[in-house]
A and B are shown apart, each in its own frame.
Chain A
Amino acid sequence: GAVVSQHPSWVICKSGTSVKIECRSLDFQATTMFWYRQFPKQSLMLMATSNEGSKATYEQGVEKDKFLINHASLTLSTLTVTSAHPEDSSFYICSARDGFSSYNEQFFGPGTRLTVL
């Protein structure tokens, strides 16, 4: 299947700083990218959906000014957690879908573990 990478795989930062997470589709064009958040032993919570070249659509309850999403190219999307606080500590997972493909399945990245001290 297609490959989606995330960088970094883990990050530790101080409270109040901003952290950027990159998500790349390595062998297909990601017309749509999704950002999820996952707490321990819980399911995936969709944060936002972004289509290449458009503004992201955020789920209810997700602060768009705090979680900045950029999807400027067909292979790269970034999630920036601004002014991070300990409650933002979580596992962030991106997912990408190739809208040009008739099959249209969704591939997940390996996730980024964020710890805010």
Chain B
Amino acid sequence: GENVEQHPSTLSVQEGDSAVIKCTYSDSASNYFPWYKQELGKGPQLIIDIRSNVGEKKDQRIAVTLNKTAKHFSLHITETQPEDSAVYFCAAREAGKSTFGDGTTLTVKP
């Protein structure tokens, strides 16, 4: 089955700096890669996603890049703000089933 590895497990940045979280996947058949933000005690919220036929997607301060050859994809957050502090999960989906990374705890220091 699919295996998703996510790094780093924790990330601390200063407000205004950029944050990058990386994920690798094993199954070349995976074709959909969402990123979720989860705040304490709440369910995950989709923040951005990318499909396998696209290399990059951007939505305001958030961007995702995908390298299908290397089987890795990354989340980029620019101009970080304290409210960006949360746990971020990547996922890879194939045949309707999503496999999640272990999560990255992002802390943005004011």
Do they bind each other? Answer: yes
Q: Does B46 contact A (CB under 8 A)?
A: yes
Interface residues of A in 9-54 (CB under 8 A from B): 32, 34, 41-44, 46, 49
Is there an interface contact between B46 and A107, defined as CB atoms closer than 8 Å? Answer: yes
Interface residues of B in 9-63 (CB under 8 A from A): 32, 34, 36, 41-46, 49
- Which of chain A's residues has its CB closest to B93's CB? A106
Is there an interface contact between A106 and B41, defined as CB atoms closer than 8 Å? Answer: no
How far does the Cβ of A43 sit from chain B's closest Cβ, in whole Å? 5
| C-alpha gap A32/B95 in the complex (Å) | 13
User: What size tier do the contact residues of chain B reach?
Assistant: 20 to 34
- Which of chain B's residues has its CB closest to A2's CB? B46
The dominant DSSP class at the A interface is strand
- Which of chain B's residues has its CB closest to A94's CB? B43
Residues of A within 8 A of B100 (CB): 43-44
Is there an interface contact between B98 and A108, defined as CB atoms closer than 8 Å? Answer: no
How many residues does chain A have at the interface if contact means C-beta atoms less than 8 Å apart?
21
Pick the contact of B42: A42, A106, A110 (CB < 8 A): A110
Is there an interface contact between B96 and A105, defined as CB atoms closer than 8 Å? Answer: no
| C-alpha gap A116/B43 in the complex (Å) | 20
Interface residues of B (CB under 8 A from A): 32, 34, 36, 41-46, 49, 89, 93, 96-98, 100-103, 105
Interface residues of A (CB under 8 A from B): 1, 4, 6, 32, 34, 41-44, 46, 49, 93, 104-111, 113
